[in-house]
Amino acid sequence: MSVDLELAPKQKRAAGERCCEPVVYPDVQREDALRMAEVAKALGDPIRLQLVDVLRKHAGKVCVCELVPLFDIAQPTLSHHLKKLRDAGIVDSERQGLWAYYYVIPDALKELSAWLT
């Protein structure tokens, strides 16, 4: 899989007809697309999207034990989703004794948000 986005010479169209305006290039380069797609993918699960929503609205750090009863999933599954969000660079966590506190990394959603606007 190449990064190359060059246009190949297209086959000739019938009787000089075009199907559309000539060349279109993606303005978003591949690395940007990879980064934003990774964030979008992490948000592509209803539970993770709601998790981010809860964390964002709280504006502080939220204990995992507060999150567990909000969703009808087992604790390991929630932990799995939080890890996905961590791996995507959307949230981070802090351990304090037995409890773990999660928060949204500032500007983590900025690039995708700006692209969507």
| Residue 28, both tokens | 């978003």
Q: Does 79 bind a second copy (CB under 8 A)?
A: no
Find tokens 């700006």 and name the residue.
114
For a second copy, give the closer residue by CB, 45 or 87: 45
Residue 107 binding result from DNA, a second copy, none, given CB thresholds of 5 to 8 Å by partner type:
none
Residue 74 interacts with a second copy (CB under 8 A): yes or no: no
User: Could you tell me the two tokens for 85?
Assistant: 């969000």
Site string for a second copy, 5-44 (x = CB under 8 A): x-xx-x--x----xxxxxxxxxxx-x--xx-xxx-xxxxx
Helix (H) or strand (E) holding 84: helix 75-87
Q: Is 1 in the site for DNA (CB under 7 A)?
A: yes
- Residue identified by tokens 């890890």 is 83
Examine residue 18 and tell whether it contacts DNA (CB under 7 A): yes
Q: Quick one: which H or E segment has residue 102? A: strand 99-104
